[in-house]
Amino acid sequence: MPSHPLTLVTVLGSATPPGRLRTAVAGATERAAAQDGVEARLIDLAEHRIAPADGRPPEQLGDDTGAVIDALAAADAVVLATPVYRGSMTGVLKNLLDHVPVEALEGTPVGIVAMGATDHHFLGAERHLRDVLAFFGALTAPVAVYLSSRDFADGRPSEAAAAQLDELAATLLGLARAGLPAPAPRPLAARARG
């Protein structure tokens, strides 16, 4: 069990101006940070420069890539939030994940939040993110949060939507508190590196 404050990092994978999804996850992150023994922060990819993943190390990129990767690697738990684009996660979120080394998320509790205009694409982004998180060997929460237009009134999340986000954060922090060992066997990408 960690003796230091638990760190929850929420990544909002959107390149557009702040909207309803940002409002929802920012509120949940703030509520998590208000708990004793929890430090939480939101990383909005619209506010950070992340270079295209071309194989160069982050220190050669001259932008925010290295700092964002460092925040993810230091986190005890992570939330990845994305609007649904073309039935999947956003390109900016996928680009960030293409930079992240396997060990940064291996064994880390990770939750998924997706938002679409309707329920028709509720599994698209979640399915693709689960595939990517399996590559890392992340400890992905078994149930994701999916939000749609009906979960908001005047740009604010409903009480039920906020409760779902809080439950996801509580699940991730509970997993981090439990100090579970990284899943075994290690992911293929980690085994290939030695």
- Domain positions in the chain: 6-193
Residues 6 or more apart from 155 whose CB is under 8 A from it? 19, 20, 23
- For 154-190, what is each residue's pLDDT tens digit? 999 999 999 999 999 999 999 999 988 877 888 888 8
Judge whether residue 2 has pLDDT over 60: no
Rounded to two decimals, what is the model's pTM? Answer: 0.94
- For 39-53, what is each residue's pLDDT tens digit? 999 999 999 999 999
How far is the C-alpha of 163 from the C-alpha of 50, rounded, in Å? 31
Pick the CATH number of 6-193 from 3.40.50.360, 3.20.20.70, 3.30.1860.10, 3.40.50.740: 3.40.50.360
Average pLDDT over residues 133-139: 95
- For 72-121, what is each residue's pLDDT tens digit? 999 999 999 999 998 899 999 999 999 999 999 999 999 999 999 888 87
Least confident of 16-30, 50-64, 109-123: 109-123
Which has more pLDDT, 188 or 26? 26
At residue 1, the pLDDT reads 47
